[in-house]
Amino acid sequence: MLVGSALLRELAASGPVQANSLEPTQNSEILHASEAAFWASLLEQMAALMQTIPDIDGTEIIIETTGNQFGDEFHQLWRRAQAGENEFIPIFLPWSIDPTYRTGLPNVFTLTAEEKQICRAA
């Protein structure tokens, strides 16, 4: 059985998932929805996929993505999680926490006056 994002790619690749197209015996313990903000009909597909995860201890649903558009389905889902209006726990991980996305400064680097002012304000 495929799990995680491989399961989602398999289901999403065949087009939109209909709520009645998944048999009750097709259950998983973990759902990892990768780049969900870019899915067509996100809420419809999530409704179908979430039926494959039983609501019991030890199961987990992870929806992760980079942002796409203010006010889109994922943004609305995120805002509801922030407000405590759904069962999701919002966790924001900015790109800057990954040290592989950083580089050292050149030896001849100097801040401009504007950059120095920004640093003092922070």
- Distant-in-sequence, close-in-space partners of 44: CB < 8 Å, separation ≥ 6: 16, 17, 19
The Cα 93–Cα 89 span in angstroms is 13
Q: What are the sequence ranges of the domains in the chain?
A: 4-97
Query: In this predicted structure, what is the pLDDT of residue 118?
Result: 94
Contact (Cβ atoms closer than 8 angstroms) between residue 48 and residue 18 = yes
Over residues 44-96, the pLDDT tens digits come to 999 999 888 888 888 889 999 988 999 999 999 999 999 999 989 999 988 88
The backbone torsions φ and ψ at residue 117, rounded to the nearest 5 degrees and listed phi first, read -65, -40
Over residues 18-53, the pLDDT tens digits come to 445 544 445 678 889 999 999 999 999 999 998 888
Count of beta carbons in the 10 Å neighbourhood of residue 77: 21
Contact (Cβ atoms closer than 8 angstroms) between residue 8 and residue 34 = yes
Query: In this predicted structure, what is the pLDDT of residue 3?
Result: 35
Residue position matching structure tokens 């209006």: 85
Q: What is the pTM of this model?
A: 0.62
Query: In this predicted structure, what is the pLDDT of residue 71?
Result: 94
Q: Specify the range with the lowest mean pLDDT, choosing from 7-11, 18-22, 61-65, 99-103.
A: 7-11
Torsion sign (Cα): 66, 70, 71, 77: positive
Contact (Cβ atoms closer than 8 angstroms) between residue 87 and residue 62 = no
